[in-house]
Amino acid sequence: MVQTEKVEEHFLIDECLEMFSVSGNWLCLLTEGKDEVRTNKEFMELFKLGGSVIDREALLAMFDEAGISALEEGDINTPVSIVMTNSDGVRVEGVMKRLSANRIMVTGQSPLIKQVNANHRLDSQLGTIPTSQSVDHFMTWLSLIDEQMNHQILTSKSLEQLLEKPNGSPVVYNRLKEVVEHIPHGFAVISRDWELLYINPTLEEMLGSSSETLCNRNLWEVFPEDLYHNYYLHYKEAFQHNQVVKFQDYLYGRGKVVDVTAYPSNNELTVFIQDITEVNSYIHALQETEERFSLLADNINEAFWVLSPNFETWEYMSPTFESIFGISIAVVERDYNIWMDHIHVGDRDRVVRSFRQMRSDKVACEYRFEYEPGVWKWIRTKGYPLEKAEKVMIVGVHEDITDIKEKDELIARSEQFETITRVAAGIAHEIKNPLTSIKGFLQLMMSGEASNGQYGDIVFSELSRIEAIVNEFMLLAKPEQEVELVDTNLIDIIHYVLALFRAQCRQGGIKVTTDFDAAIPDLPSDPKRLKQIFINVVKNAIEAMEGPGDLTVVGMYKADMDDVVIHISDSGKGIEPEKIKRIGEPFFTTKEKGTGLGMMVTTKFVESLGGTIRYKSKIDDGTTVTITLPVLHSD
C-alpha cells in the first residue's frame, strides 16, 4: 500500500508529509522510476489539485527552466532554489533536494497558511528561517529518526512540558517525541529571553544535571556568560541574523569537546549538541603521529614513497625526494615519465623490470640518475607490495648511494690490483713449472745424452700447457666492449655444446637428459660467450663424475621476471660448502691439474651478459650450476 512506503528506512511518506504540514510548509515527494509524486494538503491547496498524487509531467509543468534543468541533471544533493507557478500564475519560491537514490523532495513555505507561534511547539522552530535552511533542519530530523527508530527501546518519559500534541497529528507528535528523547546528541530549546525551556536526557548526561534543575532558568545564570562567552556570541548571532550557526567549543567542568548547531526561529532557538571528545582525541593523536612521521621523513637521507600498482600515480613522496633527485615532487606527480627520462638509458629497462617485480615481491635495484646535465648519481630503490583494505599499493624508499659507490669503486680498484698481483704471481708459477721441465729436457737433448725423440713429446706437452694457460688468461683479459649482442636461440647453443661432448659421455657411461620450456624466447646475447660459458660448465660437470653418472640440463622461462634460467646438474662427488664460496677466484680449483681460470672466465662472461651464476652442491650427491640470463638486456 502507498501508506506503508518509506521516505527513508523506518520513516513513512505519510508521516513526512504530515510533519511538513504541521510546520506550515508545502511538500511534494517525487519517486523516480515510478512516475509518481505524493503531495501534502498545503501543496494541494496552493496548486489547486484534486488529489494528493500527481505524475512527473504535471510537476514539471509547474517548474521554471532552472528547476527542470536541475531535476534532469540530477545534481541536487544539496538544496537548489527553484520557482514554481500555480494555475493562477502565482510564482512560489521553494527548494529541491535529493533524499535518497530514488527520492526527491520539493518544499517551501506556503503564503496561504498562517504560521503558528505557540511557545512550546516544535513546528514554531522553523519560524522564518530561509527555506534552504528549513530543509536542512527537517533533514536533520529525518536522519535522526532513521538512525534511532530501528534499535532504540522507547520509554514513556514525557515531553508535554515542551510540546503540546498537535491537533490531528498524533503520529508526528509521537515520532518527534521518540526522536528527541533518544537521539545520541544533546537537544535543547532556548527562548529569546534566554530561558532554558527543555533539554533531552542525552544533554542531561552531558551536563551532569537534570532537566528539573536546569529548565525554566536563565541560561547565563546556569552557565556564566564570561565562561561561555563564545556560546553567547553564536546564539546571539543566530537570533539577530535568523541563520543557522555551527561551532565547536568546550563544556567547562565536564572535560568535553562539543559540536554545536543552533536553529533559530522568531522566539526560540533549537540547539543540537554532539560530544566529539573521543573523535577529537583521535584527530589530535593522528596529527601528532603525522607530525612525528614528517619530522622523521624530513631529517633522514632516504625518500619514502607510495606508488599505485599501475605506476601512474605517486600517492606520497617525502620531501627528501627533491633533494635526492633535484626534481619537484609536483612535477613528478603530474608526469611520472619525467623522472624515468633522467635514469641512465643503460639502466632504464632494469629499473622498469624491478618496479614490475615489486608488485609481488620485495625488490631492490641500483641505477644511475642524471641529477644535473652531466652530473650522475647512484640511486638504490627498494620497494614491496602492501595490501590494506583490499587495496594493493607499492611502498618503498629511494636512497642516494653515490658516496657508497665511490668508496666501493676505490675498494674494487684496490682488490683489482690485488687480484692482478695474485694472477700475475699465479701465471708466473704455472708457467715456470713447465718452463723448468722444458729447459731441463732441452739441456739433456743438447748434451747428446738423450735422443730428441725421447723427450720431444714431454717438451710439446709442457708447451701445450703453457699455451692453454695463456689462452685462458687472454679470454679473461678481453675488454667488455667486444660484446656484440644478437638474437640468440639459447636451446640451440646448449644442444651444440652437448654434441661436442657426446663421444666423451658415451665412453664414460654418462647419461645426458634435457628438459626445456617451450616458452623460452630468443634473447639478445653473444653466441660465442654463451658457447664458452656452457662448454666450461658442462666440461666441469663431466669431469666431476669419475665414472658412469647422470648429466641433467633443464631450461625454463620466468615470465614475471623476464628471465631464462638454466640448471646444469651432475651426479658427481659434490663440493664442500667452504670451497663453493671460492669458485671463480683465480687459480682456485678442485681438479688436480686445473688452473681455476676457466670458472673465473665463465663468471666474467655471465656477468658481462647481464646474468648471474650460482652453485649448489651436496657431498656424494652432485652439484647444480644455475645460470640466469635476462631476456631484456641493457649494456
pLDDT value, residue 610: 86
> Mapped to the 3 state alphabet, what secondary structure does 300-339 carry?
CCEEEEEECCCCCCEEEECCHHHHHHCCCHHHHHHCHHHH
Spatial neighbors of 496 by CB under 8 A, at least 6 apart, are: 531
Instruction: With a cut of 90, say whether residue 173 has pLDDT above it.
Output: no
The CATH fold assigned to 481-630 is: Heat Shock Protein 90 (3.30.565)
pLDDT band at 545 (very low <50, low <70, confident <90, very high): confident
Measured CA to CA, the distance from residue 356 to residue 307 in angstroms comes to 12
pLDDT value, residue 429: 65
Identify which of 197, 198, 268 has the alpha carbon closest to the alpha carbon of residue 238.
Answer: 268
pLDDT in tens, 197-221: 888 898 999 898 888 889 899 999 9
DSSP codes of every residue in 349-397: HHHHHHHHHTTTS-EEEEEEEEEETTEEEEEEEEEEEEEETTEEEEEEE
pLDDT value, residue 156: 29
Of 541 and 546, the one with more pLDDT: 541
Instruction: Tell me the three state secondary structure of residue 532.
Output: helix
pLDDT band at 103 (very low <50, low <70, confident <90, very high): confident
pLDDT band at 415 (very low <50, low <70, confident <90, very high): low
In terms of Cβ atoms closer than 10 Å to its own Cβ (0-12, 13-18, 19+), residue 341 is exposed
Instruction: With a cut of 50, say whether residue 167 has pLDDT above it.
Output: no
Residue 3 CA: distances (Å) to CA of 17, 38, 52, 630: 11, 11, 12, 72
350, 343 Cβ separation under 8 angstroms: no
Instruction: With a cut of 60, say whether residue 594 has pLDDT above it.
Output: no
14, 22 Cβ separation under 8 angstroms: no
pLDDT value, residue 296: 64
Domains 406-477 and 481-630 alike in fold: no
pLDDT value, residue 380: 92
Provide the 10 A C-beta neighbour count for residue 17: 23
**Helices within 251-310 (DSSP H only):** 277-298
Measured CA to CA, the distance from residue 396 to residue 124 in angstroms comes to 60
Measured CA to CA, the distance from residue 412 to residue 403 in angstroms comes to 14
Instruction: With a cut of 90, say whether residue 566 has pLDDT above it.
Output: yes
Instruction: Tell me the three state secondary structure of residue 593.
Output: coil
pLDDT value, residue 368: 93
pLDDT value, residue 116: 36
pLDDT value, residue 565: 94
Instruction: With a cut of 60, say whether residue 148 has pLDDT above it.
Output: no
User: Letter for the amino acid at 213?
Assistant: T
Q: Which residues of 180-209 are buried (b: 16+ CB within 10 A; e: fewer)?
A: bbbbebbbbbbbeebebbbbbbbbbebbee
DSSP codes of every residue in 191-227: ETT-BEEEE-HHHHHHHTS-HHHHTTSBHHHHTTTTT
Instruction: With a cut of 70, say whether residue 453 has pLDDT above it.
Output: no
Measured CA to CA, the distance from residue 287 to residue 399 in angstroms comes to 27
Backbone angles phi, psi at 196, to 5 degrees: -85, 105
- Which pairing describes strands 486-488 and 80-85: parallel, antiparallel, or unpaired? unpaired
pLDDT in tens, 291-343: 666 666 566 678 888 888 777 777 788 888 888 898 888 888 888 788 889 99
C-alpha cell belonging to residue 583: 669458485
Spatial neighbors of 541 by CB under 8 A, at least 6 apart, are: 551, 568, 569, 570, 572, 623, 625
pLDDT value, residue 137: 47
For cell 601512474, the residue is 312
Instruction: With a cut of 60, say whether residue 261 has pLDDT above it.
Output: yes
pLDDT value, residue 627: 94
Measured CA to CA, the distance from residue 627 to residue 331 in angstroms comes to 41
C-alpha cell belonging to residue 304: 619514502
Residue 250 CA: distances (Å) to CA of 247, 256, 275, 280, 634: 10, 6, 10, 11, 65
pLDDT band at 570 (very low <50, low <70, confident <90, very high): very high
Of 236 and 313, the one with more pLDDT: 236
In terms of Cβ atoms closer than 10 Å to its own Cβ (0-12, 13-18, 19+), residue 321 is buried
pLDDT band at 236 (very low <50, low <70, confident <90, very high): very high
Measured CA to CA, the distance from residue 76 to residue 426 in angstroms comes to 87
Lowest mean pLDDT among 111-120, 202-211, 223-232, 292-301: 111-120
pLDDT value, residue 31: 85
C-alpha cell belonging to residue 106: 520539493
pLDDT value, residue 342: 92
User: If you average pLDDT over residues 477-504, what whole number do you get?
Assistant: 79
pLDDT in tens, 417-437: 666 676 666 667 667 777 777
> Mapped to the 3 state alphabet, what secondary structure does 145-194 carry?
HHHHCCCCCCCCCCCCCCCCCCCCCHHHHHHHHHHHHHCCCEEEEEECCC
Instruction: With a cut of 50, say whether residue 568 has pLDDT above it.
Output: yes
Measured CA to CA, the distance from residue 490 to residue 178 in angstroms comes to 81
In terms of Cβ atoms closer than 10 Å to its own Cβ (0-12, 13-18, 19+), residue 104 is buried
Identify which of 224, 287, 277 has the alpha carbon closest to the alpha carbon of residue 250.
Answer: 277
Residue 426 CA: distances (Å) to CA of 418, 422, 470, 595: 12, 6, 12, 9
Identify which of 193, 199, 202, 224 has the alpha carbon closest to the alpha carbon of residue 212.
Answer: 199
User: Letter for the amino acid at 435?
Assistant: L
Measured CA to CA, the distance from residue 469 to residue 437 in angstroms comes to 16
C-alpha cell belonging to residue 422: 695474485
Computed over every residue of the chain, the mean pLDDT equals: 77
User: Letter for the amino acid at 617?
Assistant: S
Lowest mean pLDDT among 101-105, 148-152, 295-299: 148-152
Please give the radius of gyration of the chain, using alpha carbons only, rounded to the nearest integer: 44
* Domain 406-477 top-level CATH class: mainly alpha
Instruction: With a cut of 60, say whether residue 9 has pLDDT above it.
Output: no
Superfamily of 300-398 according to CATH:
PAS domain (3.30.450.20)
pLDDT in tens, 358-382: 888 889 999 999 998 889 999 999 9
Residue 550 CA: distances (Å) to CA of 28, 165, 543: 89, 99, 12
Q: Where are the domains of the chain?
A: 300-398, 406-477, 481-630
Provide, rounded to the nearest whole percent, the portion of the chain with pLDDT above 70: 73
Measured CA to CA, the distance from residue 477 to residue 475 in angstroms comes to 5
pLDDT value, residue 130: 46
291, 266 Cβ separation under 8 angstroms: no
Instruction: With a cut of 80, say whether residue 515 has pLDDT above it.
Output: yes
